[in-house]
Structure 1
Amino acid sequence: MEIKNRHKYLLQYHIIFVCKYRKKLLMSKQISDDIKQFSYEICQKHKVIIRYMETDKDHIHYMIATEPTMSISKIVNLMKSYTTYHIWKRYSDYLRKHFWKEHTFWTDGYFVCSAGNVSEEMLRKYIENQG
């Protein structure tokens, strides 16, 4: 939990990005490792903490923590654009075989859900017992 002045918060999110066309590009250990490194770089610049991160053949899972001043859509946009730009810089010849002219890597969409440190049931009971 972060504490700044009088504010206390714990904002954690589970995020999933999927490779465009479900291409199994993350099977390559090099690409997978580089995507992870680029993710750390962009998150560090914007005070987003990556708690966990793991790739599968065609998608990546993140568990992140962030401040309330940063919207999740902004974080997603930063992460996707930064990783795409740098992965293309490093593997343009290889990626051109998969995507031809478009400089893309991820699908347009993403999955996100908030992940606090209590279950939904515990939170419901807490709220119901207020007052």
Structure 2
Amino acid sequence: MSQIYRRAQTTVSLIKYHFVFCPRYRRKVLVGAVEERLKILLSEICEEIDIQILAVECDKDHCHLFVNALPTISPSDIMAKLKGVTSRRLRQEFSHLKHLPSLWTRSYFVSTAGNVSSETIRRYVEEQKTRG
């Protein structure tokens, strides 16, 4: 009698995203307690959705976030979750933000980052056909 053994699917990936996002009208609201609370919320949300924060820093009117994410979640899904939750929570917790219909603009910047260049990857792929 044969048994079928199923191996657990393991994803090995290294996908790093650099996000930059801004409050509506570039309002200078990411200061003091708001900035600190935003960083805590980002950390909690990222942990919940299995994203590793590599770096986070805010200026008065924008936030940089550098993360390592699994390929199962798209950059747009990451931003939707982060901006949605932080907007709602920060506006609930800080009275001077309550009048805003939403905290963040709909747009954001995202870029991938890695340890090797596109040229290195291209050469590696091309050399695969010459390997024995």
Does TM, normalized by the shorter one, top 0.5?
yes
Matched with 1:39 is: 42
For 1:31 and 1:76, how far apart are their aligned partners in 2?
Answer: 19
Matched with 2:88 is: 85
1:53 maps onto 2:49 in alignment: no
State the shift of 1:40 in Å. 0.6
Aligned length: 122
Q: Deviations over 1:54-103 (max 9, x none)?
A: 00120000111111111111111000001101101111x2114xxx4x42
Matched with 1:16 is: 20
Query: SS in structure 1 opposite 2:116?
Result: coil
Gaps of 5+ in 1: none
For 1:114 and 1:32, how far apart are their aligned partners in 2?
Answer: 25
Gaps of 5+ in 2: 1-7
State the shift of 1:128 in Å. 4.4
1:1-131 pair list within 5 angstroms: 5=9, 7-26=11-30, 28-91=31-94, 93-96=95-98, 100=99, 102-131=100-129
Q: Report sequence identity in percent.
A: 34
Bigger radius of gyration? 2
For 1:57 and 1:129, how far apart are their aligned partners in 2?
Answer: 48
Query: SS in structure 2 opposite 1:8?
Result: coil
For 1:45 and 1:32, how far apart are their aligned partners in 2?
Answer: 20
If each structure's helix is expressed as a fraction of its own residues, which one has the higher value? 1
TM-score (norm 2): 0.83
State the shift of 1:5 in Å. 4.6
State the shift of 1:116 in Å. 1.4
